[in-house]
């Protein structure tokens, strides 16, 4: 019983530890003072206004959004055929292909970012939107693969074969049979991909410039020199956006993965 109580206390303290910084940032973004204060002194939304009046923030928001959207779209277009190949075919080097495509998950992003900068330099690609894009595609693709692959089961395959037996062309079968079955995986994978791209610093930082900047990199460079309520306001926006995406994911695929005795 004492052990149980102790676990309870540690767990609740851990939850507080996880939530505290986010609450502090959101609170501090509402302060009326021109320095960061928590608890906030007075309530105002003016820091959000300051943000939207600053063209460099607006353009960073646009760059980040376009980058995350494009990277996700390309990653989905590459990951869906790759997962079909990995799930449907037995071929020499299959394990190798699979680890290659998954490896960005464990790779230090700093290394890949540096590599893309240097590689880009040789081809005149460095510090461009394209250089950012290809890097982001590489790091977000594993998320899509990982959520689509488990859906390509033998049962799913049987339906695919039935469609072909009934005279469906491969293209029609893909769009009418396979795609609807893996749509859930594509959507949740794409959401994860979008977020991972949207929050990345380590990879982007090498290929951004003051004119071509993403939100997290801009924040990173800013926070090292100044801390003020505007930065809390940007942070608060990203926290709210993240929370919305997660609630969406929860409704879509159900995040209650910790329920006891769930199906493995």
Partner 1 sequence: MAASRTTLALLLFAPLAFFAAFFLAPMAVVALTSLTTDDGGLTFAHYARILFDQYHWDVLWVTFRIALATTALCLLIGFPLAWYLVRIVRWRSWRRACVILIVVPLFTSNIVRSFGWMVLLGRTGLVNQGLMGMGMTERPIRFLGTETGILIGMVYILMPFVVLSVGNALAKIDTALEDASADLGVGPARTFWFVTLPLCLPGAVSGAIMVFALAVSAYVTPALLSGGQITVFSMLIFQQYSSVFDFHYGGALSVTLLVLTLVLVTLAGRIGERGRRAA
Is 172 a binding residue for partner 1 by CB under 8 A? The answer is: no
Query: Interface residues for partner 1 in 194-223 (CB under 8 A)?
Result: 195, 198-202, 205-206, 216, 219-220, 223
- In the complex, minimum distance from the CB of residue 70 to partner 1, in angstroms, rounded to a whole number: 14
- In the complex, minimum distance from the CB of residue 244 to partner 1, in angstroms, rounded to a whole number: 10
Q: How far apart are CA 45 and CA 32, in angstroms?
A: 8
Is 104 a binding residue for partner 1 by CB under 8 A? The answer is: yes
Is 246 a binding residue for partner 1 by CB under 8 A? The answer is: yes
Q: How far apart are CA 204 and CA 209, in angstroms?
A: 10
Q: How far apart are CA 194 and CA 241, in angstroms?
A: 12
- In the complex, minimum distance from the CB of residue 116 to partner 1, in angstroms, rounded to a whole number: 5
Contact at 8 Å (CB) between 213 and 59? yes
Query: Interface residues for partner 1 in 66-95 (CB under 8 A)?
Result: 77-79, 81-82, 84-85, 89, 91
Question: Which member of 42, 53, 122, 155 binds partner 1 (CB under 8 A)?
Answer: 122
- In the complex, minimum distance from the CB of residue 16 to partner 1, in angstroms, rounded to a whole number: 10
Is 262 a binding residue for partner 1 by CB under 8 A? The answer is: yes
Is 140 a binding residue for partner 1 by CB under 8 A? The answer is: no
Please name which of 93, 92, 115, 95 lies closest in space to residue 103, comparing C-alpha atoms: 95
Q: How far apart are CA 129 and CA 204, in angstroms?
A: 10
**With CB under 8 A, what is the number of residues at the site for partner 1?**
87
To which residue do tokens 């003072």 refer?
A: 33
Is 154 a binding residue for partner 1 by CB under 8 A? The answer is: no
Q: How far apart are CA 128 and CA 177, in angstroms?
A: 39
- Comparing CB distances to partner 1, the nearer of 166 and 171 is 171
Query: Interface residues for partner 1 in 7-46 (CB under 8 A)?
Result: 7-8, 10-12, 14-15, 17-22, 24-25, 28, 36, 38
Q: What are phi and psi of 91, to 5 degrees?
A: -150, 160
Contact at 8 Å (CB) between 139 and 200? yes
Q: How far apart are CA 233 and CA 26, in angstroms?
A: 7
Please name which of 103, 110, 111 lies closest in space to residue 141, comparing C-alpha atoms: 103
Question: Which member of 70, 134, 159, 253 binds partner 1 (CB under 8 A)?
Answer: 134
Is 50 a binding residue for partner 1 by CB under 8 A? The answer is: no
Question: Which member of 65, 119, 159, 168 binds partner 1 (CB under 8 A)?
Answer: 119
């Amino acid at each position: 019983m004492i052990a149980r109580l102790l676990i309870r206390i540690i767990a609740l303290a851990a939850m507080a530890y996880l939530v505290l910084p986010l609450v502090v940032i959101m609170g501090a973004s509402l302060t009326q003072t021109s320095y960061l204060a928590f608890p906030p002194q007075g309530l105002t939304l003016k820091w959000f206004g300051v943000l939207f009046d600053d063209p460099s923030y607006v353009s960073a928001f646009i760059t980040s959004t376009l980058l995350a959207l494009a990277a996700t779209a390309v990653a989905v277009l590459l990951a869906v055929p790759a997962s079909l190949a990995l799930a449907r075919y037995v071929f020499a080097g299959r394990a190798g292909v699979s680890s290659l495509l998954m490896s960005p998950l464990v790779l230090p992003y700093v290394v890949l970012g540096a590599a893309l900068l240097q590689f880009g330099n040789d081809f005149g690609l460095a510090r461009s939107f394209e250089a950012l894009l290809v890097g982001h595609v590489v790091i977000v693709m594993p998320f899509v693969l990982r959520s689509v692959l488990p859906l390509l089961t033998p049962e799913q395959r049987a339906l695919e074969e039935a469609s072909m037996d009934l005279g469906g062309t491969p293209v029609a079968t893909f769009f009418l049979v396979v795609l609807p079955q893996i749509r859930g995986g594509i959507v949740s994978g794409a959401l994860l991909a979008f977020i991972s791209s949207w929050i990345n610093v380590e990879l982007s930082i090498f290929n951004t410039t003051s004119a071509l900047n993403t939100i997290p990199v801009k924040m990173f460079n800013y926070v090292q020199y100044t801390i003020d309520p505007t930065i809390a306001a940007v942070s608060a926006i990203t926290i709210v956006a993240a929370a919305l995406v997660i609630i969406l994911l929860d409704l879509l695929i159900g995040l209650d993965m910790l329920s006891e005795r769930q199906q493995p």
